[in-house]
Each structure stands twice: as C-alpha cells, then as structure tokens.
Amino acid sequence: MLVLARVEAKLAASIVLGLVLFSALASIPGVTNLDWRIDATVDRCDAGAQEAIDGWVAARRQAGWDVSVRRDETPSSVAGLDGSTRAYQVTHAGLTGLGYLRLFAATDLDLQFPPAFRRNCMPRSFNWWLPVSARAATLPVLLLASWYAAIVVLVGWSLRRRTAERDPGYRYGWRAYSSWLAFGLMTTFVVMLIAHGLHDLFGIDLQSGQRESVLAMIRADPWLLFLFVLAGPFCEESLFRGWLLRDFVAAGMARSGSVVVSLSFAGMHMIGDPDNASTSAYAVLVFLISIVLCWVYLRYRSLLASTLTHMAHNAASMSIALAAGWLTTAPSP
C-alpha cells in the first residue's frame, strides 16, 4: 500500500504541476489568442434595442474586452427566418486561455452577450460556438504540453543523483531495436482489429470526436505530430514506466505494478463521457497497450525499449488515420 500511495502521489504531483504551468502560460496575453462567439436570433426588437446593444459593447470594451456585435442585414435569406427576425453574431476576440475559460463558464449571461437580446427583444435562440480555426487546438495542446513539461521537471529532479539502470556489459543490437519497433506496429494492428470488431458488432466508434479533433489539429499544424509521436511517448514513458513502475519493481511487485500503472495510464486517456461506451472501450484498449509497454520495459529493463515501442505505435496509428479516414479507429495513447 505504501508503494501504491507513493506512485499515485507522483502521478498527482505531475497533474497539479501541469495545471499550474498551464494556468501560468494561459494567462499570458497573446499565447493563446482565442476567439469566442455566440450567434443570437431575436424577434421584434423595440426601438431602443440597438442603442442598448451599442452601450453594452462600449461598456465591455471599457472593461478591457475586445468584443463586437455584427447584425445580419438579410436574415430572411436564412432558412426558417422571416423579415421580422434579426440574427446577430457576438464575438470576443484575442482572449487569453484563462479569459476564454472564464467567459465560457460565466453564470452571468450579461457578460457573454447583450442583455438587450432578452430585455428589448424576443429571443428565439442562442447558439454557443467554440473557436473553429486552427487556434481551437491551442488550449488542449497547451494543457498537454504543460503536463509533459511537468513530467520532465519532476522526473529529471528525481533522477538528478541516480545513475542509469543498465548492465554495462550488455549492448542492445539491431535485433533488439527492430523488435521494439515491431512490438509497436503489432500492437497497432491488434488494436485496429479489436476496434473494427467493436464497431462492426456493437456499433461502438472509439472516441471518434477526440480522434477527429486530434486529426484536425495535425492538419492545421503539422508540427503537432512531433508532440503526439515523439514528445508524448517520451514523456509518458518517463512518467509511467520510468518513474512509477520502477517503484513497484524495486518492491518486487512488477506484475501488480504493471496493472496499477496501466489503470492510471488508461485513466489519463479517458477524455469524454466516462459513462459512454465509446470512452470505456477506448480506455480498455489503452489499458491493453500499456500492459504491452510494461512488458517490454520489464523484459528488456530498458526505458528506451518501451519508448521506441510507444513511438512506433503512435506513428503507425497517426499515419493510418491521416492516410485513410476509414481506418481511424486505432487509439493513440
């Protein structure tokens, strides 16, 4: 139990430090530079509505928000709208990450859009929009990068006085390296077969929303492949196999440690609705991938082995997903 508590404390420390780094970076103007938009549709505004909207815009700008309200002058051209309907677009531009989150989570609707839409008009609908440009990737990527930076800091600090754990009389040859890459490719192939089986038999599409978001980010910013294929596996292996599993190995609990570490690894990838069958099935596959990575690490007693296996798996998954949309059911932990 002491080992388990220590391992979970390390994992929690990486998360907390990652959130601290994220909050610091996301509060710097210009780092995220996000836009947030609401489309408002209203009927039969009274004579003072436009003046009230202009007053709200002026007050928000005075408070430091870059906000604008644009009215669609031809709403009747929109399906379902008649000549008495007015469609507006409210945009908050150039937001920091924390400003965006604060605005999106605001309970006071008067901070989000002009109260005139409710007081001087008859509202028909309000549609909230997330950023739709490449900048939509800024927040999740910044959060992930902050967590990876926290891992590097914590693992590097813990290993500052520790020598490398390897047998100086043994050198890995090309066969070992080929085996590690093959393990990653075979893992991808098996996971794809399982994923397609779940889709064909039960209609479960594993984390399709998350997968499409990741692919959209990569298409918009190809450099993110470095994050998902190289930096991600390196940092995650340093944490889960190099820092957490090592404690279980030192206590003679390698097998049970592999299960605990893999459960934590899968839990970190459960982005979405935990009650959704797609999210749960995705987490199970990530757990199995982690078991393979733990086995490789224990088999070769080398963090390089599990890291290269992880990189090969992520590279294969990303390549297949980008090359053929119909083969995008393989998860990339």
Query: How far, in Å, are 7, 18, 250, 265, 280 from residue 246 at the CA level?
Result: 9, 22, 6, 15, 27
The arithmetic mean of pLDDT across residues 190-216, rounded, is: 75
Q: Is the pLDDT of residue 53 over 50?
A: yes
Q: Within a 10 A sphere around the Cβ of 259, how many other Cβ atoms?
A: 15
pLDDT confidence of residue 137:
60
Q: Is the pLDDT of residue 107 over 70?
A: yes
> Rounded mean pLDDT of the chain?
82
Residue range 258-278, pLDDT digits in tens? 999 999 999 888 765 555 667
Name the DSSP letter for residue 284: H
- pLDDT band for 329, please (50, 70, 90 cuts): very low
As a whole number of angstroms, the distance between CA 184 and CA 190 comes to 10
pLDDT confidence of residue 154:
92
Residue range 216-226, pLDDT digits in tens? 777 767 788 89
Report the run of H or E that residue 187 belongs to, with start and end.
Answer: helix 174-202
Q: Is the pLDDT of residue 212 over 80?
A: no
Q: Is the pLDDT of residue 130 over 60?
A: no
pTM (predicted TM-score):
0.77
Share of the chain above pLDDT 90, in %: 34
- pLDDT band for 34, please (50, 70, 90 cuts): confident
pLDDT higher at 72 or 76: 72
pLDDT confidence of residue 275:
55
Residue range 274-323, pLDDT digits in tens? 556 677 788 889 999 999 999 999 999 899 999 999 999 999 988 887 77
Q: Within a 10 A sphere around the Cβ of 230, how many other Cβ atoms?
A: 14
Q: Is the pLDDT of residue 243 over 60?
A: yes
As a whole number of angstroms, the distance between CA 184 and CA 101 comes to 37
Q: Within a 10 A sphere around the Cβ of 80, how many other Cβ atoms?
A: 8
pLDDT confidence of residue 198:
79
As a whole number of angstroms, the distance between CA 101 and CA 332 comes to 27
Region of residue 44 (phi > 0: left; psi between -120 and 50: alpha; otherwise: beta): left
β-bridge mates for residue 123, sequence order = 42
Q: Is the pLDDT of residue 133 over 50?
A: no
Q: Is the pLDDT of residue 230 over 80?
A: yes
Identify the three-state secondary structure at position 122. strand
Identify the three-state secondary structure at position 94. strand
pLDDT confidence of residue 80:
52
User: What is the token pair recorded at 33?
Assistant: 């530079």
Helices H / strands E in the chain, number of each: 13, 4
pLDDT confidence of residue 183:
93
Residue range 150-162, pLDDT digits in tens? 999 998 888 765 5
pLDDT confidence of residue 135:
55
Residue range 163-185, pLDDT digits in tens? 444 444 456 788 889 999 999 99
